[in-house]
Chains A and B, each alone.
Chain A
């Protein structure tokens, strides 16, 4: 399987505050196409920091990060924005969606940014929203949907851009465990049936149980990396 994400001796030091914080202290990581990877670890262990660097939202202090073979730490701000738009799907903890757009329009929006044709946009939007189980919610705005439904729309949007992988920092943190479970089931299904690569962080043990690879961070270092056969 081809390598999608690769980091080498990745370090991140936050030095804006009085005491510099060594959030990542040399992370070596490879994520392959089609993996369903959970990043876990105690609060403050560096999960968000790692995901931000992998996603091209932040830059490492030292070490290398390449996504799809591109050394993204050396791209300019505008190149990075372009790169994220074409290569990475994002699902954040909450408030992912543009509140004034309907579910359909939110999914379509990312493809508008990519200048895709209208027919393709409409076709993909409808099939993706059906796929995440929201065929009957297409014309609702985020305010009219539950948290779980909003996260499903966010996943649909992330998929709509045809990214190399989807990055999700605690996508279930604001959901009750039942809803969290069904969101994860949906993501797993996408992973199994379409080979979509997911990298997400979580604290939720029931979510961790569903992951096929679990990377545990402790104090900015990989403590364990476990691949489970399912």
Chain B
């Protein structure tokens, strides 16, 4: 036994002097960690899922536009795919690019007409990026070599048309040119968001370029990152690099600011709940610490009398508290991990009104738990911060201890 390791042994044995109190304290820490971890995992998982859904299925994580497009989304800001842009798409962490030409048009069939959002895109890349094929509910996926269209299920219903019917698109093309065309419907798509369902029209890129008299032009170039984390890492560099040559880069947070805001609010809510939980637990731990210090005054007095330096004594008590926290955190994790794992693989699924709320954001009505280490790490940090602060009490107490008074029983 060295001097410090003997303190460790002492601390460890000391916490088992009052087994019942120790068990209660550990249990309360474990409960807080258990609860907070599950809450945090579901919360993070649900939002990751929502963001992934919304962003991945529709916007892509990174989009390049002509400068000013984000303020004024018009086809007149279309641009050619230059070498420089395509180079950006071949950098590390970017798996590919998906050029799109987007604009508005009136969609009509027989006597029905509705405003539509037309997306001209490369069928293969689009599927790679947004899993578009998975949204097909009827008919078949469009082919880039044919002038054909896929439309949202809701739009088809509104226009009272189906696969095999011919859709008419009328609108304004590049720099005021006339835009009109007829396209057979080959497939119907289903979007979680009713809004998208009623508005989306997909054409092969070249077909759309012809329709809008924008030969060789696109309104956006989506970069396909290997993951969201990669996208977030590359974003600042791309932004500054491409802005020099007249382009703007939008990250996913720029594209859906409302969602980002709601997520922040929700996250703050969860943090507040967790903080309240930890505050309650902290009072419990403090109670234990108070009793532990009060009932051992005489003992502390003996130890300082025989020549134990106060900092050693304080270190011993501090380690006792850290031991309690450590065991509590460990048990909390061991209990919560299976639950989190289960909820990751079998997410909570919503039905009815709640499901509708999810669908409004264009996402599936499920809340899968996140397995992200950051949730666990945050709990560890919070517990240690709380206990470290609480542990100041006995440290101060020991430093102020007057030996003679402590030992006068």
List the interface of chain A (C-beta within 8 A of B). Answer: 52, 55, 57-58, 78, 81-82, 84-86, 90, 92, 95-96, 98-101, 108-110, 112-115, 118, 157, 161
Contacts and interface: CB of A to CB of B under 8 A. Distances in A.
Contacts of A112: 1-3, 6
B294 interface: no
B315 interface: no
A113 B308 CA distance: 7
28 contacts: A52-B404, A78-B310, A81-B309, A81-B310, A82-B309, A84-B305, A84-B306, A85-B306, A85-B308, A90-B302, A90-B305, A92-B302, A92-B305, A95-B298, A95-B299, A100-B10, A100-B14, A100-B16, A101-B10, A101-B13, A108-B1, A112-B3, A112-B6, A113-B306, A113-B309, A113-B312, A161-B306, A161-B307
Contacts, number: 65
Given A52-B404, A100-B13, A100-B14, A81 B298 contact: no
Contacts of B298: 95
B306 A90 contact: yes
B262 interface: no
Interface string B295-324: 000110011111111101000000000000
B392 interface: no
Given A95-B299, A98-B299, A112-B6, A55 B14 contact: no
Interface in B257-306: 298-299, 302-306
A82 B312 CA distance: 13
Q: Which 10 A-B pairs have the closest CB atoms?
A: A85-B307, A100-B13, A84-B307, A58-B404, A57-B403, A90-B306, A112-B6, A57-B404, A112-B3, A90-B305
Given A98-B299, A112-B3, A81 B308 contact: yes
B17 interface: yes
Contacts of B10: 98, 100-101
Contacts of A98: 10, 299, 303
A113 B307 contact: yes
B6 A78 contact: no
A52 B305 CA distance: 10
Contacts of A57: 305, 403-404
User: Size band of the B side of the interface?
Assistant: 20 to 34
B324 to A, nearest CB: 16
A138 to B, nearest CB: 15
A143 to B, nearest CB: 10
Contacts of B309: 78, 81-82, 113
B24 interface: no
Contacts of B385: none
A82 to B, nearest CB: 7
A90 B404 CA distance: 13
Nearest to B403: A57
Contacts of A95: 298-299, 302
Interface in B78-118: none
Interface in B308-347: 308-310, 312
Nearest to B311: A78
A92 B16 CA distance: 25
Nearest to B3: A112
Contacts of B1: 108, 112, 118
B256 interface: no
Given A90-B306, A112-B3, A113-B312, 7 more contacts: A52-B404, A81-B307, A81-B308, A81-B310, A92-B302, A100-B10, A113-B308
Nearest to B296: A99
Contacts of B305: 55, 57, 84, 90, 92
B348 interface: no
A100 B307 contact: no
Nearest to A118: B1
Interface string B394-409: 0000000001100100
A110 B306 contact: yes
B223 to A, nearest CB: 63
A161 to B, nearest CB: 7
Nearest to A78: B309
Contacts of A81: 304, 307-310
A10 B14 CA distance: 40
Interface in B8-27: 10, 13-14, 16-17
Contacts of B307: 81-82, 84-86, 110, 113-114, 161
